[in-house]
Amino acid sequence: MYQVTIINNKKETVINAVSSDKDAPRVTGNIKQGINTFDSFTFTIYSNNIGYSKIKPFKTLVKVLNTKTKKYEFIGRVLSPSEELQESGLFFISYVCESALAYLVDSIQRYESFTNISVKDYLGKLLDNHNAKMEEEFKKIYIGKVEIDEQSDFVNAYETTYDNINTKLLNIFGGELSLRHEDKIYLDYLKQTGRKSKTKIMLKKNLKSMSRKLNIDDFGTRFIFTGAKIKSKDTDGNEVDTEECITIAKLNNGYDYLDYKDGVEKFGIIEKTVNFDDAEDAETLLKKAKEYINSISIPTSLSLDAVDLYYLGIDFDSFEVGNYYPVCIEIFSIDYDARVIEKNIVIEDPSSNTLTFDDKELDIKTYSANKNKNIFNDVESTSKNIIEIKQKVIRLETQVINTEKQVQKTEKQVQKIEENSSSYVTTKTYNAFVDSNSKKTSEIENKIKKMEERLAKLEGGSTT
């Protein structure tokens, strides 16, 4: 499903082919994708591979094509090799590769200052400087779409191009980077990458496991609000600040605090202080205090582990980094869109791909402390069983197809022998072979039927 190609001086060599041929070139490896990071590809290649001696660090380019989606999961260059000899005598090399975004580390921006320049123009200057220093055409990156509409002053001082983008743009204005590989490499600077998908993450379908952690180490339920420091006059008549601050007491029945009522009910009284030093009077401070209380959400980390059923032909949409997916877990009152922030691809076994979703802060009313975790464990186990059965059905169906192909291949071999040598293959010998394969096919089909019945029972459905 993943075709891996290396490129040297525009000459391509496939080192991992999507083929049923046992002699087709193969490598094993993992791709790690993320947001505003260099994607990486680590792979192992053996000495019998056609591309074994053709890989040169920093010179050889690598592309990994998902032949199902027709998209490239990785495009970049080879870095450091690691050689190893096993006891069996097998010799192999493992390589670490980094995506094309890392090319921006190869250039240094000399001292230069810019006054009241737009983010787009500044990014364009950085890329122009980078491209002017790169002799290799494949390392040149051109400005694409820029959605950050801001202006500012910038100073470059002998940092890499990527460091300038990271510290002077991403850290200040936010946003996310995305590379487009077309006739050239284009760098898009977007407010946010990805899109919203309709593929749901839910129990008894594709959710393998879930964990939710309540982070209350720095959590408060009663907040004492203070404003600007109260001024007084010293012995010389000069106005000076005191340590006493404006409070909301005179407007709040003598109380200098507001309670987060849902939090007090659930966790008791935990006092915290919140200062708004720009609030010069009690009225302004009280307004800010009420806005603060209304904006509180419980700091809850929600981690999900879901299987990508697209590759099994079940879901119509694959999980992609940056995309949002509806999460529906009724027993925990969870119903929101979760974003994939990291994806790990196993090129030799797509069913082992793993995903990392962003954390979510939930309203305290959404957090259900009285849910029985054992209930989730039972449903989680059912969900895993369903996924495993679906994967087994796919593998068994593949075995049926391969068995039928073997029968067809043998039929052709028999016909060829009879035509070329006029020899006679006994009907008994041939029929014995066909009967054996028919029996094997029948056994596999029975297994498939039983698994589908079990699957329907787990899902609460029917096989009809």
Predicted confidence (pLDDT) per residue in 365-396, tens digit = 665 443 434 434 444 444 455 555 555 555 55
pLDDT at residue 272 is higher than 80? yes
Residue 73 and residue 88 in contact, taking contact as beta carbons nearer than 8 Å: no
User: What pLDDT score was predicted for residue 461?
Assistant: 46
Phi, psi (degrees; rounded to nearest 5) at 440 = -60, -45
Residue 299 and residue 361 in contact, taking contact as beta carbons nearer than 8 Å: yes
As a whole number of angstroms, the distance between CA 208 and CA 201 comes to 10
Residue 105 and residue 161 in contact, taking contact as beta carbons nearer than 8 Å: yes
What DSSP state is assigned to residue 166?
Answer: I
pLDDT at residue 407 is higher than 60? no
DSSP 375-403: HHHHHHHHHHHHHHHHHHHHHHHHHHHHH
Read off the amino acid at residue 153: D
Domain ranges of the chain: 2-99, 106-190, 201-215+299-357, 222-294, 373-459
User: What pLDDT score was predicted for residue 425?
Assistant: 46
Proportion of the chain above pLDDT 70, given as a percent:
74
Q: Give the pLDDT mean for 388-413.
A: 55
What value, to the nearest 5°, has the Cα angle with vertex 296 and ends 291 and 301? Answer: 155
User: What pLDDT score was predicted for residue 383?
Assistant: 47
Can you tell me which residue has the tokens 């006029």? Answer: 422
CATH number given to 106-190:
3.55.50
As a whole number of angstroms, the distance between CA 35 and CA 37 comes to 5
| Cα 144 from chain centroid (whole Å) | 23
pLDDT in tens, 90-101: 788 999 999 999
pLDDT at residue 427 is higher than 80? no
What value, to the nearest 5°, has the Cα angle with vertex 200 and ends 194 and 204? Answer: 145
Residue 148 and residue 160 in contact, taking contact as beta carbons nearer than 8 Å: no
**Higher per-residue confidence, 338 vs 168:** 168
User: What pLDDT score was predicted for residue 143?
Assistant: 97
User: What pLDDT score was predicted for residue 456?
Assistant: 61
pLDDT in tens, 178-188: 999 999 999 99
pLDDT at residue 426 is higher than 60? no
As a whole number of angstroms, the distance between CA 271 and CA 283 comes to 22
What value, to the nearest 5°, has the Cα angle with vertex 370 and ends 364 and 371? Answer: 100
As a whole number of angstroms, the distance between CA 197 and CA 226 comes to 44
Count the helix, strand and coil residues of the chain and give each as a percent rounded to the nearest 5.
35, 35, 30
Residue 341 and residue 353 in contact, taking contact as beta carbons nearer than 8 Å: no
Q: How many residues does the chain have?
A: 464
Q: Give the pLDDT mean for 343-353.
A: 85
CA distances from 367 to 203, 294, 364, 394 (A): 18, 17, 5, 38
| Cα 202 from chain centroid (whole Å) | 18
106-110, 337-341, 415-419: range with highest mean pLDDT: 106-110
What DSSP state is assigned to residue 196?
Answer: B
285: enclosing H helix or E strand: helix 282-294
Q: Give the pLDDT mean for 293-306.
A: 76
Total-model pTM: 0.66
**Higher per-residue confidence, 372 vs 457:** 457
Among residues 93, 95, 96, the alpha carbon closest in space to that of 84 is found at: 93
Angle between helices 427-459 and 373-421 (to 10 degrees): 160
CATH number given to 2-99:
2.30.300.10
Proportion of the chain above pLDDT 90, given as a percent:
47
List helix spans (H) across 41-149.
119-133
